[in-house]
Amino acid sequence: MVLICSLLFLYACSSGKEQDTNPKEDVIPGKVELSDGWVRPGSKGMMSAVYLTISNGTAKRDTLAEVSSDVAKRAEVHESYKGENGMSGMRPAPNRIIEAGEELYLQPGGLHIMLISLNKDLVPGDSVEIDFSFKQTGTKTVRMPVKAQNP
Amino acid sequence: MRSTLYILLAFGMLAVFLEACSGPDTIADLSNESYQLLDSDSSSIIFPSHFRGETTVISFIYTHCPDVCPIITANMKNIQSGLADTSDVQFVEITFDPERDTPSVLAEYRKVYRLNDQFTLLTGQPAIIDSLMSRLHIVAKKAKIDSLQQDSSDYFMQHSNTIYIMDQNGRVRTEYPASVVPPENVIEDLKKIR
Ligand SMILES: [Cu+2]
């Protein structure tokens, strides 16, 4: 947490400075791309997970600050992890940083968006709109298919 | 070079010999035990005698787990579809979260993941589930998450990631890391055990 805070703090400072001295390096909106998204099926009241690749094609690092969707009461960024003795667990993974030119992969068994308490059944063939808000780029909305398993 | 080979050979023979002495490996022998569980249609099932005479692939899940548990279930389905002949094989998923995973919740899960009749999803009274889990060396503990603290029924679980093969006589014989084991490995052992 301390590390994340200090990184954010440093980042806030440095980006402010850059904007003052070198406006050419401003973030070009629209260059953060969301691709290969899919959503697991689920029943109303239950959970689901969202997977995708986020590419930061801008010249600056960005942070995935918040996720939301009309289909769920809440959406959170989580990661599955391996604990001791091969145990498997899950924990929140807020404020993921995506460096300039890099990609963030959300894949089964790792980082994922958790849809908590679905407002309706999600079945394969449906599609779902998810809002991603980034600290630099702002909010991007993507529609993703519901699939039982990524082929 | 030669001598190394002989030593290796000797060790190999020793290993074979030891294995022959101890008989087939058994992780847990449930042949004389019985656990009263509930099927996803709420009917009562006595475990493991209900599955006697069939080789059973067993995994452990909770349905509030949308990431790793569906991978485990998908892997079970891959094992099923990779078997040329599934006639004497059963697939069982037992919840370690019986408080939330009632029979009807498990019925939803089976619908969502399109599991056929060869799959049985089991829950039961928490005390019975707990004793079965500890008998099978399956660990599952609740983990509170800050953002979810407003409701005591909102929790995640840290849990073992295990698939077992139980033979026709209720003896648990082999064990695999459930979400990552290649289905072929389980299929190969199934052919030997069944
Ligand atoms: Cu999650």
Backbone angles phi, psi at A33, to 5 degrees: -115, 140
For B101: left if phi > 0, alpha if psi spans -120 to 50, otherwise beta; the answer is: beta
User: Token digits for B106?
Assistant: 């498990």
Token pair 């969202």 is found at A50
Please indicate whether residue B79 or residue B156 has the higher confidence score (pLDDT): B79
Nearest C-alpha in A relative to B64: A47
Contact predicate B52/B194, CB 8 Å: no
- Provide, as residue numbers in chain A, all residues whose Cβ is less than 8 Å from the Cβ of B180: 109
- Containing structural domain, residue A117: 28-81+89-145
User: Measured in angstroms, how far is the CA atom of residue B102 from the centroid of ligand 1?
Assistant: 21
Query: Is B21 part of any known ligand binding site?
Result: no
- In-domain check, residue B89: yes
* B160 to A87: CB separation less than 8 angstroms, yes or no: yes
* B145 to A91: CB separation less than 8 angstroms, yes or no: yes
Number of domains in chain A: 1
Q: Which residues of B touch chain A, with CB atoms under 8 Å apart?
A: 63-68, 70-71, 74, 105, 108-109, 111-114, 139, 143, 145-148, 154, 156-162, 177, 179-180
CATH of the domain at A32: 2.60.40.1890
- In-domain check, residue B44: yes
pTM of structure: 0.81
- In-domain check, residue B16: no
pLDDT in the model for residue A144: 97
- What does DSSP assign to residue A148? S
- Separation CA B114–CA B108 (nearest Å): 10
- In-domain check, residue B18: no
- What does DSSP assign to residue A71? T
Please determine, for residue A11, whether its predicted confidence score (pLDDT) is greater than 50. no
- In-domain check, residue A4: no
User: Measured in angstroms, how far is the CA atom of residue A73 from the centroid of ligand 1?
Assistant: 14
- In-domain check, residue A7: no
User: Token digits for A125?
Assistant: 């063939």
Interior/surface letters B137-151, b for 16+ CB within 10 angstroms, e for the rest: ebbbeeeeeeebeee
Instruction: Using pLDDT thresholds of 50, 70 and 90, give the confidence band for residue A83.
Output: confident
CATH of the domain at B79: 3.40.30.10
- In-domain check, residue B94: yes
pLDDT in the model for residue A4: 47
- In-domain check, residue B170: yes
* A46 to B63: CB separation less than 8 angstroms, yes or no: yes
Mean pLDDT, range A100-115, rounded to an integer: 96
Please determine, for residue B67, whether its predicted confidence score (pLDDT) is greater than 80. yes
Backbone angles phi, psi at B98, to 5 degrees: -65, -20
Contact predicate A87/B160, CB 8 Å: yes
- In-domain check, residue A64: yes
Contact predicate A147/B70, CB 8 Å: no
- In-domain check, residue A52: yes
pLDDT in the model for residue A31: 84
- In-domain check, residue A151: no
User: Measured in angstroms, how far is the CA atom of residue A94 from the centroid of ligand 1?
Assistant: 12
Number of domains in chain B: 1
Longest dimension (CA), chain B: 69
Question: Cα dist. B128→A121, B97, B116, B133, B135 in Å?
Answer: 31, 12, 26, 9, 11
Q: Which residues of A touch chain B, with CB atoms under 8 Å apart?
A: 40-43, 46-49, 74, 76, 78, 80, 82-83, 85-92, 108-109, 112, 114-116, 123, 148-149
- In-domain check, residue A11: no
Quick: pLDDT tens for B97-117.
999 999 999 999 999 999 999
User: Measured in angstroms, how far is the CA atom of residue B118 from the centroid of ligand 1?
Assistant: 28
- In-domain check, residue B177: yes
Question: Cα dist. B52→B32, B87, B114, B133, B193 in Å?
Answer: 11, 14, 25, 19, 14
Instruction: Using pLDDT thresholds of 50, 70 and 90, give the confidence band for residue A151.
Output: low
Question: Cα dist. A145→A36, A128, B91 in Å?
Answer: 10, 6, 29
- Containing structural domain, residue B61: 26-193
User: Token digits for B177?
Assistant: 């890391």
For A87: left if phi > 0, alpha if psi spans -120 to 50, otherwise beta; the answer is: beta
- How many CA atoms lie less than 13 Å away from A57 in the CB half-sphere? 9
